[in-house]
Structure 1
């Protein structure tokens, strides 16, 4: 999920088969050796969204990157720049032997003056992301009213702000994303949108998600599906991946406990990947079929274990998983 400073402040296969020959010809290479761990078969790294580490990454970025790299995480998605210059942040990544592949970027009215935002000049964004080695940027939270301020219950006030925009907000956001993506494309930067679960709230016979998908130009804006938030919103991740084939370039690998009830208000009972109710045997093959390029582990607080222990549990499950 991760919506840079906003978030850090607001939230403490079924395959049709004919005959034997047909199966052999139609079976993709990644599915040909079920005794080999899934991520080895698809030749993709298991990445992590650094938001997961909370204050650890803010207080000791170098040490956090080094510990995560030792666990096995070599590909990272950033929730922001952590107050560093792009050059210094890249140096920290190089020192730890990790690669930055994506970054979440907020909007200027929610970030301190001088921050790199989605509305910064395309050249400024391209220069910073180019230094980091990043080619994909993601907007991780819907638009909020200009006069919005967090209340005592920050989660509730955030939801109220989003709902105040109504269906029109989702249309305006789609237009904004299309325009910013078109401006960034000549600079080699792809732009995406990351969901939570408020997108799926029924409004006037539709949902914000349905409206946004209709507005977005699939040739310009990709989707980063958060599989845990999709589940909390009452949808089946594998079904949604199949429906959106070709539009999903990245996923957040996130799990939730069976106690998680369908809601549209940023609520879930989080747990480590493989410890919850998501059906990874259906989801991971659906990711491949949908064209997913990057896989980032992410977990929401509260944590039942130390965060480093939790992300190791998720990595161990995924690195050994056979689908």
Structure 2
């Protein structure tokens, strides 16, 4: 066989098989299903072929019970989303208890899924506001100094949790791209956080919904993003900074995965988690299977 033929054959191999990386899922995608039947949902996820699960939080359950359910399904949990504040197992709570909970589920990373909003802001929905409306109001009030304070917050929490062998991360939406002069929130976080302490989880769908190129962002910040939410959007999505997108299954939308997946790996991403936003056009578990099967076969 010629070298050219060998190279062509290698190039045609599925990305995840060639890279030796597992396909994971953020359980937020199946939140209603998991709330009704966690064990059954996890077994269904494993049956599809997923190998890892990122938890959207501790879901009101004991960490040991979560670990038992994941072990029973044969799934690993590399990371957990941890809110900046709001209770005991948050970044503003007892970090010793948080570390113990993360160890109990087997996680190595605690990822903030949203920023810490300053105390001056009204954190309760106003008249006529739903949760999304409240978040859009709060985001519009964020200043460059607020984002710098968020970077300090992440550095401080990461310094403590590093002693427990845990990494702290930050997950973006699209509001972090709201222009602040010549910069924006995510750029400030990347600049002001310590790379030895704080990592980032790139939500591809929200980056694209903000009108930015995920591959270009990864290239500019090589090594800073070690996790990714594999999320697709329809071409009808209008660029915005206010938590709006037209979601679809991975491989059915506007994202060029054949370009993006190798770019992500080259930049340092090793944790890939499918996540899909509502509304869903089919049962969530079916959507999760469509996403997985596309990724399992995509070549790059």
TM-score category of the 2 structures, normalised to the smaller one: over 0.9
Point out the more displaced range, 211-220 or 306-315. 211-220
Query: Displaced runs of 4+ in structure 1, greater than 4 A?
Result: none
Give 1:167 deviation, angstroms.
1.7
Correspondence for 2:71: 94
**Aligned-residue RMSD, C-alpha:** 1.7
C-alpha displacement of 1:37:
0.9
Corresponding residue for residue 143 of structure 2? 166
TM-score, scaled relative to structure 2:
0.93
Q: 3-state DSSP class of the match of 1:175?
A: helix
Q: How far 1:209 moved relative to its partner?
A: 1.6
Of 31, 48, 58, the residue aligned with 1:54 is: 31
Match of 1:133 among 64, 87, 106: 106
1:96-145 CA-to-partner distances (Å, cap 9, x unmatched) read 1111110000023xx3x4x3111233321221111111110100101224
2:96 equivalent to 1:150: no
> Matched residue pairs, number?
292
Which residue of structure 2 aligns with residue 231 of structure 1? 208
Q: Structure 2: which 5+ runs fail to align?
A: none
Structure 1 distance, partners of 2:115, 2:182, is 20
**Distance of 1:250 and 1:217 partners within structure 2:** 17
Q: TM-score, normalised by structure 1?
A: 0.87
CA distance in 2, matches of 1:162, 1:185: 29
Q: Provide the rounded CA distance (Å) in 1 between the counterparts of 2:196 and 2:103.
A: 22
Q: Is the 8 A contact 2:54 2:80 kept in 1?
A: yes
User: Distance in 2 between the 1:120 and 1:145 partners?
Assistant: 16
Superposed displacement of residue 197, structure 1: 0.3
- Residue 3 of structure 1 corresponds to which residue in structure 2? none
Structural mapping, 1:75-224, within 5 Å? 75-108=52-85, 111=86, 113=87, 115-146=88-119, 147-151=122-126, 152-224=129-201
- Work out whether residues 122 and 187 of structure 1, in 8 Å CA contact, stay in contact via their aligned partners in 2: no
How far, CA to CA, are the matches of 1:66 and 1:103 in structure 2? 19
Per the TM alignment, residue 205 of structure 1 is displaced from its structure 2 partner at its CA by 2.7
| Uncovered stretches (5+) of structure 1, i.e. residues with no partner | 1-20
Q: Deviations over 1:18-39 (max 9, x none)?
A: xxx9x9xxx9xxx981222110
Shift of 1:153: 2.9
Residue 44 of structure 1 deviates from its aligned partner by 0.5
For the 8 Å contact 1:74–1:97, the answer to whether it is kept is yes
Q: 1:126 to 1:154 in 2, by over 3 A?
A: closer
Mapped partners of 1:188, 1:276: distance in 2: 38
